[in-house]
Amino acid sequence: MSVAIVNIGRSHRGDLAGTPLDGDALICDGGAIAWIGSSEDVAPGDHAQVLDAGGAGVIPGLIDSHVHITFGDYTPRQRTVGYLESYLHGGTTRAITASEVHVPGRPSDPAGVKALAIAAQRCFAGFRPAGVTVHAGSVILEPGLTRADFDELRAEGVWLAKAGFGGFETPLDYVPVARAARAAGLLVTCHTGGGSIPGSLDRIDAAAVIAMGAHVSFHVNGGPTAMVGDDNERIVVEGGDVALQLAMAGNLRSALEICRLAREHGREDRLLISTDTPTGTGVVPLGMLHLIAELVSLEGLPVELAIAAATGSVGRVYRLDAGLLEVGRPADLLVVDAPLGSAGDDWAGALEVGDVPAICAALTAGEVRYTKSRNTPAPKRPVRVVAP
């Protein structure tokens, strides 16, 4: 059951250069992008559905790499049902767990944290709320976990590990356990900055994140409290390839400084954009787009890099095949435009003046999930369904 999109305006493949598509049309089939080319070559009768973008743009679906998943489409922190479905209306087509730390009564013993991670991974393996792909199941690093435990988890399909919420007395006590998880093939993430919930460590700084060998410095701009002193420069300059995950729920001033440092040192490839929600900050369906608009309009990042940091760069860091608009890749994408009344001429121009773009349509796994977002303003160029 194929879906075609024609008359595409400004596009972005999801790479750091913001490369446009080789054409103004694409076809999705079998859950993947099957073809990219000219609208003149698309025969409406050959497809189950044809969308006319009317000059609106197309970008990859946003991948939020810091979502506090529990079980189902429910967040106990905000007592909200259906938040992931609402995030889809904000452009998020994939959500990556920041560990199931908000599960009420979560266990802290080795057997319990392993069971929790495996259960979460299994529950979302075939469950896609409203079409959103959820990468769930991140083992919370606790004292007593060993390399054998991580080997077992990896064999069961768990590939994420989270440092920063376990029962360790100091940040550096995480180092041997985090390195054992990494050696077993897990992607290691680490809470960065001040503590976010009672009972967690007061602060995890750049030195600890680097010593752990973490793959991702979670909310490097603070979650919600930012690092202090020279830590921003240290993690950019001395952090090797550790990904610098910026969070909407963090410190905007710190985020802008980290963007500046990353660009000065030619490490824009390490920047990721996320929300770090639902938390005390709340349920924020437009969180990804809001942070992108802030960073672009305040000259933290050019629009090309900002979109890449929310799409292709996330896919690369997290070893996913998603995040790029290329033939054979998952057909998760957004049709976007400037909102009515914006000074921007198109979706990119809207971001440059600080406006959140309008989402004209969202597709996940090649299926049209909606042609009118309930969470963004109306677009200047609404999508028309021209077939069937």
Taking a C-beta distance cutoff of 8 angstroms, is the pair 207, 243 a contact?
A: no
What pairs with residue 347 in β-bridges?
none
Question: What string of pLDDT tens digits covers the 388 residues of the chain?
Answer: 899 999 999 999 999 999 999 999 999 999 999 999 999 999 999 999 999 999 999 999 999 999 999 999 999 999 999 999 999 999 999 999 999 999 999 999 999 999 999 999 999 999 999 999 999 999 999 999 999 999 999 999 999 999 998 999 999 999 999 999 999 999 999 999 986 555 556 689 999 999 999 999 999 999 889 999 999 999 999 999 999 999 999 999 999 999 999 999 999 999 999 999 999 999 999 999 999 999 999 999 999 999 999 999 999 999 999 999 999 999 999 999 999 999 999 999 999 999 999 999 999 999 999 999 999 999 999 999 997 7
Q: In sequence order, what are the beta bridge partners of 1? A: none
Q: How far is CA 342 from CA 346, 353, 383, in A?
A: 9, 8, 18
With beta carbons less than 8 A apart as the criterion, state whether 184 and 156 touch.
no
Count other Cβ atoms within 10 Å, centred on residue 192: 33
pLDDT at 311: 99
pLDDT at 224: 86
CA pair distance 334, 38, nearest whole angstrom: 18
Distances from the Cα of 372 to the Cα of 294, 341, 358, angstroms: 24, 17, 9
Q: How many CB atoms lie within 10 A of CB 388?
A: 9
According to the model, what pLDDT value does residue 199 have? 54
Please list, in sequence order, all residues whose beta carbon lies within 8 angstroms of the beta carbon of residue 148, skipping any fewer than 6 positions away. none
Q: Domains (ranges, CATH) in the chain?
A: 3-60+324-387 (2.30.40.10), 62-317 (3.20.20.140)
User: Mind giving me the DSSP string for 127-169?
Assistant: --GGG-EEE--EEEP-TT--HHHHHHHHHTT--EEEESSSS-S
Position 111 scores a pLDDT of 98
Query: Which amino acid, 138?
Result: S
Task: Say what the pLDDT of residue 1 is.
Answer: 80
- The CB-side HSE value for 222 (13 A sphere, CA atoms) comes to 16
For residue 110 the two structure tokens come to 């080795």
pLDDT of residue 387: 76
> What's the CA gap between 189 and 153, in Å, rounded?
16
